[in-house]
Every structure is written in structure tokens, then in C-alpha cells.
């Protein structure tokens, strides 16, 4: 059972599950299952009778969340918790997704699952509270923390860069925030492998390997897509946003790597996504 099936990750989870044999997929986008609505949840559970449920539904408008904290919390905490509780009661496995934003932004080495958490924006705090609520209601759940997610569809940095690169002669892109991009297809495959491997429950980081700034990421997107647009590095203060972003969010993926293998490099994954787009 896949919730939030209309999103970037949800669509990739459907694709990854289709490659498995003897699996029936019940995929629900927001229009068929709003995870904040208990009656819709009961109906979907009665229909799907799942063995495992993947929750790709989330309020992901990081900046919008600053002015809509209750709406954000309703999905990322209440909805996720209700889904986790329903799964636990029915003996259904549960896989939930979270974010690098939950980590304390005070580290200068790859972030490990046991590191301090904080959450400096509404979105980050609701995702952190969501993790705790999920684990409270479903102690056997998997939580995958990920970062800088993109796919051929949806709202993401890759598509924004391609659009802006076609419209403008030059762009200023933040160069003092570093992290690791994650191709949603790789995240979806890893989530399925983690379940198949019967890995121990708990929190796992997942991103593609390698480190870059948003500027480096944009540079690679333009280089690989032969986009003719000049890029200028800028600092965070020159691009103010309502929600604060971490300056360092590189995830240490060794824990999940033991069960699903080492994630491929972000450039290789980006290349595949851009090829599919073209
Ligand atoms: N995108 C990133 O860069 C990023 C980074 C780190 C972690 N994550 C996490 O990764 C997961 C997947 O994110 P994504 O990139 O696939 O996000 P996405 O493309 O925005 O997909 C989220 C989906 O959830 C749906 N949704 C929202 N509220 C819902 C509700 N009440 N009931 C059911 N569905 C609902 C959305 O539907 P509508 O479109 O109709 O609103 C959307 O289809 C999320 O947990 C997110 O927090 C994402």
C-alpha cells in the first residue's frame, strides 16, 4: 500500500514495486486517500489489506509551512501517526520518510542516525515530531531520512533549474549550503530492499553518495543538459527564504548500505534522470 502516490517518491515507489514478482500494489494519491481523514483510511485499509504500507504523503511546502503550521502538522504529525497506529493494530509493516532537516545544524561531518536533532523550521519540527509519533505508535516502523529529492516530475530543484536556465542568461545560486541530492527512484528502490532484507526496524539515512552545494548541483544540471546559462555563486544571505535551511546536510548512509548496498553517486543518478527527461 502506497500513500501519497501522486508525489515524486510515491510515483517512484509504484515503479519500483512493479518490478517485483507476486506483489499487488494499492496506490492512493491524496484524492483517493487523505491520510488525515480516518474514514478514508479505514476504507483504504479494508480494500488493500496490506502487508506493508509506505507513507510517501507529506506536507512538503517548506516555506509555505511557516505561515500554515497547523496544516503542516496535521499531515506530517497527525496523519502519519494515525497511519502508523492503523498499521500496527493490523500487523502491517510501515515505512515512513523524513528529512535531513531534522538534524542539528552544528556538525561538519556526515550526519549519523544517532546524531542530535533540532528542527529550525516549522516543516523540520513537524517532520521530527512525525518521526517520534510514528515510532510511538509503530515501534517496528522503518523511517528513512533523505535529502534534496528530485525526479522527472513534481516540484524540485532539477526541474526549476531547467526552466530558469531556458528563460534567463544568468542565475545566482546558493553555494554555501552543501548536501547530497537524492534521485527519488533510488530512494524508492532502497525502501523496498530494506523491507525485503528484513532489516532491523528504526531510523536510516538515505541519499545518493557524494557531496555538493546547490551551485555545484545546478552546474552539473546545466552541463549535462547542455543548458547555456551563466551561474554565479551567492551566499545564503543573498537568497533569503521564510524557512531556514541547514548549511551542512550530508547524510552518512553506511547503516542502510549494509542492507541495500552503497547508494550510487549523485552525478550518475542525475544523468539518468536528465536522460529520461530528454
Ligand atoms: N522533496 C524533498 O526535497 C525532500 C527532502 C527530504 C525529505 N523529503 C520527504 O520525502 C517524502 C516524499 O517527498 P516528495 O519529494 O515525494 O514530496 P511531494 O512530491 O510533495 O509528494 C508528497 C505527496 O503527498 C501528498 N499529500 C499531501 N498531503 C496529503 C494528505 N493529507 N493525504 C495524502 N496525501 C497527501 C501530496 O499531494 P498534493 O500534491 O495534492 O499536495 C503529494 O502528492 C516526504 O516525507 C518528504 O517530507 C522530501
Quickly tell me which residue has 523540520 as its cell.
Answer: 124
Q: How far is CA 265 from CA 112, 166, 209, 233, in A?
A: 19, 26, 4, 23
Q: Per residue of the chain (278 residues), what is the pLDDT tens digit?
A: 999 999 999 999 999 999 999 999 999 999 999 999 999 999 999 999 999 999 999 999 999 999 999 999 999 999 999 999 999 999 999 999 999 999 998 898 999 999 999 989 999 999 999 999 999 999 999 999 999 999 999 999 999 999 999 999 999 999 999 999 999 999 999 999 999 999 999 999 999 999 999 999 999 999 999 999 999 999 999 999 999 999 999 999 999 999 999 999 999 999 999 999 98
In-domain check, residue 223: no
In-domain check, residue 94: yes
In-domain check, residue 111: yes
Which residues lie with the beta carbon below 6 Å from any ligand 1 atom? 3-4, 6-10, 30, 33-36, 56-60, 75, 79, 97, 99, 127, 146-149, 154
For position 192, which CATH number holds? 3.40.50.720
In-domain check, residue 176: no
In-domain check, residue 67: yes
Catalytic residue among 123, 150, 183, 248: 123
**Nearest alpha carbon, ligand 1 atom 39:** 7
Q: Which of 57, 86, 251 is the pocket-test mutation for ligand 1 (most atoms within 8 Å of CB)?
A: 57
Stated pTM of the model: 0.97
In-domain check, residue 71: yes
Between the CA of 178 and the centroid of ligand 1 the distance, in Å, is 22
Q: How far is CA 111 from CA 108, 147, 196, 221, 254, in A?
A: 8, 11, 25, 25, 11
In-domain check, residue 66: yes
**Nearest alpha carbon, ligand 1 atom 7:** 99
Query: Which domain does 118 fall in, by range?
Result: 2-152+182-208+250-264
Q: How far is CA 108 from CA 124, 179, 193, 203, in A?
A: 19, 11, 30, 21
Between the CA of 170 and the centroid of ligand 1 the distance, in Å, is 30
In-domain check, residue 167: no
Q: Identify which of 264, 249, 146, 134 has the alpha carbon closest to the alpha carbon of residue 201.
A: 134
Q: How many domains does the chain have?
A: 1
Between the CA of 195 and the centroid of ligand 1 the distance, in Å, is 21
Amino acid at each position: 500500500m502506497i500513500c501519497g502516490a501522486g508525489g515524486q517518491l510515491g510515483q517512484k515507489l509504484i515503479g519500483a514495486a512493479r518490478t517485483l514478482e507476486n506483489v499487488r500494489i494499492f496506490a492512493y494519491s491524496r484524492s483517493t486517500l487523505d491520510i488525515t481523514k480516518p474514514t478514508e483510511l479505514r476504507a483504504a485499509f479494508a480494500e488493500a489489506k496490506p502487508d506493508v504500507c509506505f507513507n510517501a504523503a507529506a506536507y512538503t511546502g517548506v516555506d509555505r509551512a511557516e505561515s500554515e503550521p497547523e496544516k503542516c502538522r496535521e499531515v506530517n504529525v497527525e496523519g502519519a501517526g494515525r497511519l502508523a497506529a492503523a498499521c500496527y493494530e493490523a500487523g502491517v509493516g510501515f515505512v515512513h520518510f523524513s528529512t535531513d532537516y531534522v538534524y542539528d545544524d552544528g556538525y561538519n561531518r556526515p550526519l549519523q542516525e544517532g546524531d542530535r536533532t533540532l528542527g529550525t523550521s516549522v516543516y523540520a519540527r513537524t517532520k521530527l515530531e512525525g518521526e517520534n509519533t510514528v515510532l510511538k505508535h509503530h515501534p517496528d516502523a522503518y523511517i528513512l531520512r533523505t535529502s534534496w529529492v528530485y525526479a522527472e516530475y513534481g516540484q524540485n530543484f532539477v526541474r526549476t533549474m531547467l526552466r530558469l536556465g531556458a528563460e534567463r542568461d544568468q542565475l545566482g545560486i546558493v553555494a554555501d549550503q552543501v548536501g547530497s541530492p537524492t534521485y527519488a527512484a533510488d530512494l524508492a528502490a532502497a525502501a523496498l530492499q530494506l523491507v525485503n532484507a528484513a532489516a532491523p526496524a528504526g531510523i536510516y539515512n538515505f541519499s545518493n553518495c557524494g557531496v555538493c552545494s546547490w551551485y555545484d548541483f545546478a552546474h552539473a544540471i546545466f552541463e549535462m543538459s547542455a543548458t547555456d546559462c551563466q551561474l554565479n555563486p551567492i551566499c545564503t544571505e543573498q537568497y533569503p527564504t521564510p524557512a531556514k535551511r541547514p548549511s551542512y546536510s550530508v547524510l552518512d548512509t553506511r547503516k542502510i548500505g549494509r542492507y541495500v548496498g552503497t547508494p550510487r553517486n549523485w552525478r550518475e543518478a542525475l544523468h539518468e534522470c536528465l536522460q529520461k527527461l530528454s
